[in-house]
């Protein structure tokens, strides 16, 4: 059994892994598909993840697999089940957990961040983190449950109203999931703002009404021409760069909501146009991980309400993880996945 360990300083090493038999409430999983997330890229570059990282560790927090063995007291899954993993483990005892804000848990642990995760042939996880999925949806789609769960938390923060004009800024994995969720939540018009033509085409394929190139002219002017409106009701920023934040403010109509969803660099800063916040009565939301939304993601994927296949563009074996990370950083990819057991 092998795992590709992150050693820090941008280096990885394939090592042998061994596991004891599962404890009473543990589940032993054969990992089948594991997506590379923007958080993995931040960790690779020595930046913060959702929780503190202590190398050596097997990264990979968005993954799926087959249950190979279970502890004696496990009741929610059985051997042979196809499953996805919610990586975030909360203490349940700290102030924020007891207040109903467990995403801010003082003792947050995350599978694939600070305990071994999906970039290995096998993993051992608590029963509480394992969710059964329909075999027919396929392991690649199952591995999309975690990023979708994060998007669901964000989209619920944004409080879409029926008929809203919503613009998603950025057509990567997250942006293309947000396009679909905005449509499902009742937005009347969904616009994707994305400079890469191939991503714009996929955006239209998965539910956007329009897809604009923000480099082809003022995005606000393009949106006005399409909608006849001064701006949008909701702007969802999914890029992680300040130019995209600027665009969100520029396209916002009066009374609009701005969801700054992406994971920026730890030192990223934006000079907020305070008069716009006042004059337009803007509402600005952040979103952190996926409290209580993983089951919703599982249900949507099981029900085939979310298109994931067009988003998965590249697949790599476990030994080529670093190459896969670089592909995930490029404009050629959308979602890159590792197939640990191929």
Can you list the domains of the chain with their CATH numbers? 2-144+308-339 (3.90.180.10), 149-285 (3.40.50.720)
Distance in angstroms (rounded) separating the CA atoms of residues 101 and 116:
25
**Residue found under tokens 């669901």:** 152
For residues 59 and 119, is the Cβ–Cβ distance under 8 A? yes
**Nearest Cα to 173, choosing from 1, 35, 76?**
35
Question: For residue 49, what pLDDT is reported?
Answer: 64
pLDDT of residue 50: 64
pLDDT at 294: 98
Q: Is the dihedral of CA 111, 115, 120, 124 positive or negative?
A: negative
Q: 40 near 60, Cβ under 8 Å? A: yes
Residues of the chain with pLDDT under 50: none
Distance between CA atoms of residues 323 and 274, nearest Å: 42
In 240-267, which positions are buried (b, 16+ CB within 10 angstroms) versus exposed (e)?
A: bbeebbbbbbbbbbeebbbbbbbbbeee
3-state helix, strand, coil in the chain (%, to 5): 30, 30, 40
Query: Alpha-carbon distance 56 to 314, whole Å?
Result: 26
0.85 surpassed by pTM: yes
């Amino acid at each position: 059994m092998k795992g590709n360990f992150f050693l820090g300083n941008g280096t990885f090493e394939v090592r042998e892994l061994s596991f004891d038999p599962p404890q009473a409430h543990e589940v032993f999983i054969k990992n089948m598909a594991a997506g590379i997330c923007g958080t993995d890229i931040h960790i690779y570059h020595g930046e913060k993840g959702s929780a503190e990282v202590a190398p050596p560790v097997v990264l990979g927090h968005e993954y799926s697999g087959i249950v190979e063995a279970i502890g004696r007291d496990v009741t929610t899954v059985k051997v042979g089940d196809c499953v996805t993993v919610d990586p975030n483990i909360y203490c349940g005892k700290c102030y924020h957990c007891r207040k109903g804000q467990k995403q801010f848990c003082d003792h947050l642990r995350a599978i694939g961040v600070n305990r071994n995760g999906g970039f290995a042939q096998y993993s051992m996880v608590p029963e509480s983190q394992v969710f059964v999925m329909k075999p027919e949806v396929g392991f690649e789609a199952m591995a999309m449950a975690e990023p979708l769960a994060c998007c669901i938390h964000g989209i619920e923060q944004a409080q879409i109203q029926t008929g809203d004009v919503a613009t998603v800024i950025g057509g990567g994995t997250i942006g293309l999931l947000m396009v679909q969720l905005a449509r499902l939540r009742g937005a009347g018009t969904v616009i994707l703002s994305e400079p890469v033509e191939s991503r714009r085409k996929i955006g239209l394929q998965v539910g956007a009404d329009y897809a604009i190139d923000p480099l082809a002219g003022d995005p606000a002017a393009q949106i006005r021409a399409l909608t006849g409106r001064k701006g949008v009701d909701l702007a969802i920023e999914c890029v992680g760069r300040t130019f995209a934040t600027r665009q969100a403010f520029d396209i916002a109509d009066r009374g609009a909501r701005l969801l700054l969803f992406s994971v920026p660099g730890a030192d990223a800063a934006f000079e907020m146009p305070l008069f716009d916040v006042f004059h337009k009565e803007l509402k600005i939301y952040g979103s952190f991980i996926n409290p209580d939304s993983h089951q919703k993601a599982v249900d949507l994927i099981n029900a085939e309400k979310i298109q994931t296949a067009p988003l998965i563009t590249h697949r790599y074996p476990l030994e080529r993880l670093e190459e896969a990370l670089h592909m995930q950083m490029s404009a050629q990819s959308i979602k890159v996945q590792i197939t640990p057991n191929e």
